[in-house]
Amino acid sequence: MSRMMRWKMSVTSWVDGVLSQIENHEATVTSAIARVRQSTARARVQLKRVERDQRALREALSKEEEATQLWRHRAKKAEDRETALECLRRHKASARRAAEMERRLEEHERSHKELSEGIRVLNGRLSELTERKNLMRTRQSRAEAAHGMVSAAGPIGDLEDVFERWESRVGEIEIASECEEPIDRFELDFDTAEEEATLLHELEEMRREPKEPS
């Protein structure tokens, strides 16, 4: 095997290995994109749950604030001391519940803000990864096409010498066949018969000649 042929084979093997690695890289990126999509979907589900809890908390807080005002108003209006004290106790309990709801609502709002920001980041990352994957896939397709053309050109170039020798040999045979006259068996039989008749005639002439003295 020639040095050039070995070099071509080594280059081809190297390119094939590179393309195989590219395919593995594409699978890795595709898997990463799928994980980002899954994380984004989970974050959206969690965001909807937080929003639902926020709405419920706001409704409960609004009712508790109304109750706080109501018990305060009743405590002020009650003429009976015990009744007024009980209304005041209920006012304070309602106020504590309202304060706890406000705290929880603040936590939900903080979670909502963080989740919204996380989703925004994930969407940006997803767009970036998808764009880069498409770009690399385009470059890979272009590289594979170029590699295919090189691979196809190599064997064809190596076969040029074979085709030239083949054409030369066929040409020699064609020239030889054109120089040779085709064999006509019918004519050949006539030629043979005429030659034989001529020889017989000569032989008869020779026999009729006077004998030479001994």
Residue 66 Cα distances to 60, 93, 108, angstroms? 10, 13, 22
| 131-147 per-position pLDDT tens digit | 888 888 787 777 767 76
Distance in angstroms (rounded) separating the CA atoms of residues 67 and 21? 68
Dihedral sign (CA 28, 34, 36, 38): negative
Q: What is the DSSP letter of 180?
A: S
Give 182-210 pLDDT, tens digit per residue.
Answer: 556 667 777 777 887 777 777 677 777 77
Position 135 scores a pLDDT of 84
E strand spans, the chain = none
d(CA 89, CA 119) in angstroms, rounded, equals 45
Which residues, in sequence order, are CB contacts of 147 under 8 Å at separation 6+?
15, 19
Determine the Cα–Cα distance for residues 139 and 27; give it in Å rounded to an integer: 15
Q: Which CATH number describes the domain made up of 3-147?
A: 1.10.287
Sorted by where each begins, the domain ranges of the chain are: 3-147
Place of tokens 């066929």: 170
